[in-house]
Structure 1
Amino acid sequence: MGKEESFWAADVVKRMVATKRDEYVCEGMWTPSGYFHIGNARPEIFTSYSIYLELIKEGYKAKQNFIMDDFDPVEKIPVGVPVKEEDAKKYVGFPTVFAPDPFGEEKSWGDYFKKQVTNTFKEMGLEHLNIQSSYENYKSGRMNEQIIFSLDHAKEIVETWNEITGAEKPADFLPVTVVCQKCKKIMYTKATAWDGKEVTYNCSECKHEGKVSPLNANAKLNWRIHWVVNWIVNDVAFESGGKDHFSKGGSVDLGRALMKKVYQKEPPIQTPTEFIQVGGAKMAGSVGNVVDLKEWLRVANPESFRYLYLSNRPNHAIEFTLEGNPFILLNDRFERAEKIYYGEEKAENESIETKLKRAYEMSIVGEPTKERPLRVPYSYAAQLAGIMDPKENFSQILEGLKKTKHIPEKISKEEEEMLQLEFTRARAWVETYSPDKLITFVEEIDASAFSEYKELFSKSISIIEKEDSPDEIQQGIYEIAKELELQMKDAFKAFYQILIGKERGPRLGMLIMALGKEKVLARLNELK
């Protein structure tokens, strides 16, 4: 396989292991000031996860950190958080670890939003993550040595900052933000002096002026310095981030320069990650066009989500929507990769096959099974779940799946439970994102409106009575319509109208089986 064809993470790992470390730490960081959405998950978890998995595969000792930057302030009230404008001051400006939970469920704002994401990690197959609290790292003293070093070298930091970014950071800039001892907010303070032991500061919010040791969570490093110091204290070997950080003179360029010039250490290997786009716009909490991990798990399985990221290079932009056919196609791609992995289908060439097999292998939560897992295509499950609610009609769904040969006659209890979960998710997707697929049997019709199709309906009865295959039923009705010299579009439209009151719907054979042959035959007997 040529270099241009190899799995991208393998190339990064080759560069990493040349540094000869005992353990290779991959890291991502996120501030719990709002909802953690799938756009955050790509650079802060899944790009590093690809590297972590490749390191483990090659036999190296590796760890993946996920830093919850809960010492950052609540800067504004995100879309969807129930805080009135006049109450914003109760939250804004405090570190997320101190701000109250606006939902009244956890100890703090940060704890609430952290829990929303960590609650999904087990199901998403992310239990390996080493989760760190930034506040605890400061509180415990892990950051103390580097805080003192950074303050002692503030002049060199300013010189490097201005050189790399073209900014005009003032010569007296100090790289810490103090937690105001009076109002406890962190967003409004400015450090003005450092005497080697304490920082003098003022707070523009409450007008307090004071002096305090910057150690043990009394102060936080400026975020660009905080980022670099995290590399040092965690001995980070790899990190990603959104591509905006990688612009010339941006935060990555500055961080790498600070690491080398001021802290005299080698920075980690870094890879930019493209944005997730929704309708051409970057997914962002401030815009409100976000989907979180919990919502994904409500409508689809975790493997298809993992596949979305692990099958794409990080520099490949992903256009995403939960609505309509694009979401169905995403699940189709995952299911095809699964069949290729188990040798049931072939890819276009050997290179593509190798990539798809590796992407599938990484996408599975746990280890791949010896035989392909029992799985009904998501597209079919969505169609069927749009007709029958799995909470009420699951036994009927199972019987139908056996007749259509989607599943064998005998399945295990575990397989049955998994199928019910998959159909429940598909139903939730239809209800929320594709309501046009919700279909119910129409109880009353005007028989006189369909008099020209009496013979079609009459002759179709024997086909439906005899066949249990949706394809055979479909083909049989097609042949009858052809024999009667009916316009095919009009013939099928008539069937949809007498069954579901619509001009079109899912494949007719599947629809008849899903509605139940007895119900359909009773309707046809009314009309013949």
Structure 2
Amino acid sequence: MSDTDMREIAMQAKAWPFEEARKVLARLGGKKPEKGYVLFETGYGPSGLPHIGTFGEVLRTTMVRRAFEMMSDIPTRLFAFSDDMDGLRKVPDNVPNQELLAQHLGKPLTQVPDPFGTHDSFGQHNNARLQAFLDSFGFEYEFRSATECYKSGEFDQALLDVLRNYEKVQNIMLPSLGEERRKTYSPFLPICPETGIVLQVPVVELNPEAGTIVYEREDGKKVETEVTGGKCKLQWKPDWAMRWHALGVDYEMSGKDLTDSVKLSGKICRALGSRPPENLTYELFLDEQGQKISKSKGNGLSMEEWLTYATPESLANFMFAKPKTAKRLYFDVIPKQVDEYYAHVRSFDGQEPAKKLESPAWHIHNGQPPKDVPPLSFSILLNLASVCNAEDPSVLWGFISRYVPGATPQNNLALDKLVGYAVRYYQDFVKPTKKYRLPVGKEVEALQELKARLDNMPEDADGEAAQTAVYEVGKAHEFDNLRDWFKAQYEILLGQETGPRMGSFIALYGLRETSDLIDRALKGEDLSA
């Protein structure tokens, strides 16, 4: 299929990244911007380390960027912008040498010593962590530092525009503030030449022609300073607007908690003479209890935790789905996301071009999903680990190599990774919650018959044959709802309320092994041992 044909299909694609990309294309009217490219931006506050929200924002923005590139030849760039000139407001709980940081509260992050001792400043340390973080996932981006933009003069013209439109900015901001804050609020935050602290002080005089302001310190002294050259920075919302104006940002998404900030910054951007970027407001993640995830509370799931139990691609699959819908981000979502991701990859090649553009696999891999897809699901590996009480991947491989002839950890790398994830997940989350029960009533006779059927099957019977036997036994023993029969097997044999397709599990675990497992359950033995 030609590039022209694919572009036509992309123009009609319904996946949300294409919908967002069409907003950008409509903004441009099909013409290349004066700056020569379309600018996508993501923001990062380097007072803390990169986290799962950082990953999600860069990933989703990249998906929109790639969708745009399917529809247009206009060059694109993605800036990962660090607000590293922001003053250090409090000492983070998760860093060393906190006493050292406490001595530098209020200073720009790039003027605060690095508590880790690896960089010239705390801001530079976290910036390096951000770049290493993004590089590890293969993101294509350009890192930009607020400190460098302010001090190099790149923001000078935009800062002078803020000064010339000072009253307009104030008229936008003041109604959003409390009464006390209104009395002293100014969009400009001077950097004290004596202490290096970012000051929140009243501005008493404006000199737009000279490019200066006069502010009043706490001791009553009035000081004149230029607003350019890094001698002042802006308050958060005016700063965001000024950045859009200075850089010509065309697209930036943000969380629902910044909805009001987007509106105010958009008004300020217009007051400066620019059009604010196209925006997608994404919903925030929820924890196990349905509460909003908070970095300070530590609820929810971290990047490191997800990647301990599953692949980055499974997390990308989670991020792709319904960004405007609030979703629980907790350990129990991992197995489903892993299996959904591989299901999308597995079905990709057989789909029509239009369907491929709707697939998460296209957006996760920019149209080139991998070919190495595990022949077993994460869920069934979890159940195998469960019945084996596995502590080591080699235990599972003993069964896998029989089920998938010729399979080894060396020639099935994707499967080997999945096995390792499954063992870790089982040990940490499944094993502590397992609760077996004894069979009761007609369950006893049903299990006896199932055991007998398995014993009489040929060694090479496949999963479909085993599934048929399970189904027929359930019908023969008149379970009102076959789900009750399946649930009974899960609770009695696996110690859990849900489980795999039993035929597939039996084929993987083995007919004789399953028969022995049923026998032990009928005798009342401890299956958790």
Question: Would the alpha carbon gap of residues 334 and 485 (structure 1) be closer, same or farther in structure 2, given more than 3 Å must change?
Answer: closer
Mapping of residues 394-405 of structure 1, within 5 Å: 394=394, 396-405=395-404
Identity, % of aligned positions? 19
**Does residue 360 in structure 1 map to residue 367 in structure 2?**
no
Question: Would the alpha carbon gap of residues 423 and 192 (structure 1) be closer, same or farther in structure 2, given more than 3 Å must change?
Answer: farther
Distance 1:48 1:494 in 2: 45
Partner of 1:338: 345
- Conserved in 1, the CA contact under 8 Å of 2:400 and 2:508? no
Task: Give the root-mean-square deviation of aligned CA atoms.
Answer: 4.8
**Does residue 318 in structure 1 map to residue 319 in structure 2?**
no
Query: What are the Cα deviations for residues 491-513 of structure 1, in whole angstroms up to 9, with x where unaligned?
Result: 9989987x88x587856774795
- Conserved in 2, the CA contact under 8 Å of 1:125 and 1:366? no
Distance 2:179 2:487 in 1: 68
Partner of 1:63: 77
Partner of 2:190: 178
* Alpha-carbon distance, 1:198 to partner: 5.1
* Alpha-carbon distance, 1:170 to partner: 5.7
**Does residue 275 in structure 1 map to residue 267 in structure 2?**
no
Distance 1:275 1:491 in 2: 36
* Alpha-carbon distance, 1:12 to partner: 1.4
TM-score, length-scaled by structure 2? 0.74
Distance 1:300 1:458 in 2: 35
Partner of 1:409: 406
* Alpha-carbon distance, 1:389 to partner: 8.8
2:108 to 91, 95, 98: 95
Question: Would the alpha carbon gap of residues 461 and 361 (structure 1) be closer, same or farther in structure 2, given more than 3 Å must change?
Answer: closer
Distance 1:213 1:301 in 2: 50
SS in 1 for 2:154: coil
Distance 1:465 1:328 in 2: 32
Amino acid across the alignment from 1:217 = G
- Conserved in 2, the CA contact under 8 Å of 1:453 and 1:491? no
User: Larger relative contact order (C-alpha < 8 A, sep ≥ 6)?
Assistant: 1
Distance 1:159 1:522 in 2: 74
Partner of 1:11: 22
* Alpha-carbon distance, 1:318 to partner: 2.8
**Does residue 139 in structure 1 map to residue 135 in structure 2?**
no
Query: What are the Cα deviations for residues 447-504 of structure 1, in whole angstroms up to 9, with x where unaligned?
Result: xxxx999988995894599357566567668889999999x9999989987x88x587
Partner of 2:262: 252
- Conserved in 2, the CA contact under 8 Å of 1:36 and 1:292? no
SS in 2 for 1:27: strand
Distance 1:297 1:19 in 2: 40
Gaps of 5+ in 2: 1-8, 437-443, 524-529
Amino acid across the alignment from 1:420 = D
Partner of 2:527: none
SS in 2 for 1:264: coil
Partner of 1:448: none
TM-score, length-scaled by structure 1? 0.74
Q: Which moved more, 1:147-156 or 1:504-513?
A: 504-513
Query: What are the Cα deviations for residues 29-73 of structure 1, in whole angstroms up to 9, with x where unaligned?
Result: 12122243333444x424432321112112331111111111112
- Conserved in 2, the CA contact under 8 Å of 1:161 and 1:169? no
Amino acid across the alignment from 2:315 = F
Query: What are the Cα deviations for residues 221-275 of structure 1, in whole angstroms up to 9, with x where unaligned?
Result: 22222112211332211122223433xxx333332322233x2222222232222
Partner of 1:327: 334
Mapping of residues 122-161 of structure 1, within 5 Å: 122-126=135-139, 128-161=140-173
Question: Would the alpha carbon gap of residues 96 and 226 (structure 1) be closer, same or farther in structure 2, given more than 3 Å must change?
Answer: same
**Does residue 419 in structure 1 map to residue 415 in structure 2?**
yes
Partner of 2:3: none
Amino acid across the alignment from 1:318 = A
SS in 2 for 1:282: coil
Query: What are the Cα deviations for residues 163-210 of structure 1, in whole angstroms up to 9, with x where unaligned?
Result: 788989869854221233333332655555455355544665x99975
Question: Would the alpha carbon gap of residues 302 and 237 (structure 1) be closer, same or farther in structure 2, given more than 3 Å must change?
Answer: same
